[in-house]
Amino acid sequence: MLSDIEKRKIKYFGDSLGGLNVIENRKDIPFDVKRVFYIYGTDKNVIRGLHANKNSEFVMISLVGSCYVDVIDPNENKKKILLDNPNEYLYIPKMLWKNMYGFSQDSVLLVLSDSYYDENEYIRDFEDYKSEYGDKI
């Protein structure tokens, strides 16, 4: 549900030595991590994502810099989130459309997922997404 989309705090153990943040499976995020990827060097004019996932859930963390994430449901309701703090994460359940854009030059966006990559569970056409999930969310 779009109403659940909000930034949450990551456990922080920063001290005089520097920052240290911790995420443990199912304690700090709602799933076991099977996949990690990170996005960087993306021009500020580029829009990434442009898909929904039938099965996978994600956690996004802006480790460095900033970017925006639009999370859109099949009824075209939208939540725009600015990720600009390594102490916060955004949890995105399955079946929601995601666009990432406005990357700062130094942006490093870390993404954790509960699933291995499977192109077959990606929906990359918004009209297909609306017709498949319009009555399910």
Q: Which residues are catalytic?
A: 51
Least CB distance from residue 36 to ligand TYD, whole Å? Answer: 9
Residue 117 makes contact with ligand TYD by CB under 6 A: yes
Nearer to ligand TYD, 12 or 117 (CB): 117
Chain Cα centroid distance, residue 94: 11
Subset of 23-42 contacting ligand TYD (CB under 6 A): 35, 37, 39
Q: Does 60 bind ligand TYD (CB under 6 A)?
A: no
Minimum distance from residue 117 beta carbon to ligand TYD (Å): 4
Smallest gap, in angstroms, from Cβ of residue 58 to ligand TYD? 10
Of 109, 115, 137, 8, residue with least CA distance to 58 = 115
Stretch that binds ligand TYD, among 15-23, 45-53, 56-64, 75-83 (CB under 6 A): 45-53
Residue at token pair 């920052």: 19
Q: Say if residues 113 and 122 touch (Cβ distance below 8 Å).
A: no
User: How many whole angstroms from its chain centre is CA 119?
Assistant: 17
User: Is residue 47 a contact partner of residue 99, using CB atoms and an 8 Å limit?
Assistant: yes
The four Cα atoms 77, 83, 88, 89 give a dihedral, to 10 degrees, of 50
94 part of the interface to ligand TYD, by CB under 6 A:
no
Judged by the rule CB under 6 A, the positions of this chain that interact with ligand TYD are: 35, 37, 39, 48-49, 51, 117
